[in-house]
Chains A and B, each alone.
Chain A
Amino acid sequence: MLPQLTNEEVLRYSRHLILSEVGVEGQQKLKAAKVLCIGTGGLGAPLGMYLAAAGIGTIGLVDFDVVDRTNLQRQIIHGTKDIGRKKIDSATETILDINPNVNVIKHEVAITSENAMDIIKDYDIVVDGTDNFPTRYLVNDACMLAGKPNVYGSIFRFEGQSTVFTAPGGPCYRCLYPEPPPPGLVPSCAEGGVLGILPGLIGVVQATEVVKLILGKGDTLVGRLMLYDALNMRFRELKLRRNPDCPADGSCSVIKELIDYQQFCGIPHQSPEPIAAMPDKEIDPVEVKTLIDQKADFVLIDVREPHEYQIAQIPTAKLIPLGDLPKRLSELDPGADYVLHCKGGVRSAKGCDVLRGAGFQKVRNMKGGILAWSDKVDPSVPKY
């Protein structure tokens, strides 16, 4: 039995009701539907807002993050007033402002192998708006085991991908990519940047697919991978096939149970013991400042990109982007003393490995990068 629409809802959804593809019955299906949005960030923001506006009856939100200023360039479900608030609270408030008829269910947790099946069991459709490979494989496998469609979207700089995985008989994420890339090879949005509007478009594609799946109308992205290139404004689509080794009954030949996804993605578990300090490999920004003030004999190398150098810089640093470092080693004296820095310390650690691999003896990584420099040494240097 589908739920009845109130008079307020009839008026609210009138532009849907006069579409023959939706109609009263379609709108009732949307009202009866339960959709789980994993993540309320770049993809989750437009998705949650449009699903609410469209009249999805129950929207589950999974997020445990807090709104920060760098989110606001794209996560339009949160506003400047929400900085410092829990994303799940801010997103709920926006959703209920758009449509108070929505029943929002908050899951303020990180989705894990232990809780995933329990979280998704009450929903009809899962939408993946996460930002890392382990969670994407986890969401895929949980949806496969639970037999729920997984509406997928992912973004990088100016490019996005979207499809529908684990629909009955359809392909899954592992059919597309059997294995994740090794850690560090594909930068995150925080490291690689992302056009703020891009998740808007991909999130809206995901929302469209959710609504179509509920209505049972149109041709969904099951079996098709949509690619979007914002810089050249091009949409393309590729065929996506189910792994031919999977049995015809819809079960998967690969996924039998949820596994350890950190390990699957090659990410070491955080050691409960604090990692011993490595005084010969790392240096605190405050010590670097002391060395500069003492006019000590060392070379400070900034391994960020030139456009990042434009945003903020440490005056004495020599800019050699990480990608150029191997071919510019000849500019450097292997006997000299080096400190490398980047934005947060990850790329410069790789840079240190490059120098050490080339036989340089005295190479240290500035802990926390220019962000820590701004915090500890010179607050006039902007953080980004």
Chain B
Amino acid sequence: MAKILIPTPLRQFAGGNDAVEVSGATVGEILDQLTTTHPDLRKNLFNDEGKLRSFVNVYLNDEDIRYLSKTATAAKDSDTISIVPSIAGGR
């Protein structure tokens, strides 16, 4: 099962977890599984057309999936998937 790291702003939608183990052959399948288990995450990750929102980046290990095969990117059990949303705080 691949490990998904959940960032602080989204933990409230993932049962408070900072990491979740999910099975799936591709990043897309893993995200589907994740948002099935935690339905509140879905609207934060995907738009109405089911596409990943543009202010949420998903990385397979250290690589942005936009530069791999997007949600079709194959994932192994040893992989870590990071969800990295845009944050703006500074004051």
Closest to A74 in B: B91
Is the CB–CB distance between B91 and A236 below 8 Å?
no
Known interface pairs A180-B55, A186-B87; A238-B62 also in contact (CB < 8 Å): yes
B60 to chain A, nearest CB (A): 10
Is the CB–CB distance between B67 and A131 below 8 Å?
no
Those of A337-375 within 8 Å (CB) of chain B: none
Those of A157-211 within 8 Å (CB) of chain B: 157-159, 161, 176-181, 185-190, 192, 194, 199
Those of B5-60 within 8 Å (CB) of chain A: 7-9, 12, 18, 44, 53-55, 57, 59
Q: Any chain A CB within 8 A of the CB of B1? A: no
Is the CB–CB distance between A131 and B55 below 8 Å?
no
- Residues of chain A within 8 A of B90, CB atoms compared: 39, 41-44, 128-131, 153-155, 189, 199
Those of B47-91 within 8 Å (CB) of chain A: 53-55, 57, 59, 62-64, 67, 82, 84-91
Is the CB–CB distance between A189 and B91 below 8 Å?
yes
B7 to chain A, nearest CB (A): 6
Which of B53, B59, B87 is within 8 Å of A154, CB to CB?
B87
A to B CB contacts below 8 Å, 28 in the list = A39-B90, A42-B90, A43-B90, A44-B90, A71-B91, A129-B90, A129-B91, A154-B88, A155-B90, A158-B8, A159-B7, A159-B8, A176-B86, A177-B54, A178-B54, A181-B55, A181-B85, A186-B88, A189-B91, A190-B91, A192-B89, A231-B8, A232-B18, A236-B82, A238-B82, A238-B84, A240-B64, A241-B67
Those of A117-165 within 8 Å (CB) of chain B: 128-133, 136, 153-159, 161
Is the CB–CB distance between A239 and B87 below 8 Å?
no
Known interface pairs A177-B86, A185-B44, A241-B67; A157-B54 also in contact (CB < 8 Å): no
Roughly how many angstroms separate A256 CA and B43 CA in the complex, as a whole number?
A: 32
- Residues of chain A within 8 A of B67, CB atoms compared: 239, 241, 244
Is the CB–CB distance between B63 and A239 below 8 Å?
yes
Which of A42, A136, A236 is within 8 Å of B88, CB to CB?
A136
- Residues of chain B within 8 A of A157, CB atoms compared: 8-9
B21 to chain A, nearest CB (A): 16
Is the CB–CB distance between B88 and A131 below 8 Å?
yes
- Residues of chain A within 8 A of B87, CB atoms compared: 154-156, 159, 161, 186
Is the CB–CB distance between A156 and B57 below 8 Å?
no
Roughly how many angstroms separate A207 CA and B25 CA in the complex, as a whole number?
A: 42
B4 to chain A, nearest CB (A): 14
Residue total for B at the interface (Cβ-Cβ under 8 A): 24
Is the CB–CB distance between B12 and A323 below 8 Å?
yes
B38 to chain A, nearest CB (A): 13
Interface residues on A, range: 35 or more
- Residues of chain A within 8 A of B86, CB atoms compared: 133, 176-177, 180-181, 186
Is the CB–CB distance between A179 and B54 below 8 Å?
yes
- Residues of chain B within 8 A of A133, CB atoms compared: 86, 88
Is the CB–CB distance between A186 and B82 below 8 Å?
no
Known interface pairs A227-B84, A236-B82, A238-B64; A176-B57 also in contact (CB < 8 Å): yes
Roughly how many angstroms separate A161 CA and B90 CA in the complex, as a whole number?
A: 10
**CB-CB contacts of A312-335 with B at 8 A, as 1s and 0s?**
000000000001000000000000
Known interface pairs A159-B8, A181-B86, A238-B84; A131-B54 also in contact (CB < 8 Å): no
Q: Any chain B CB within 8 A of the CB of A237? A: yes
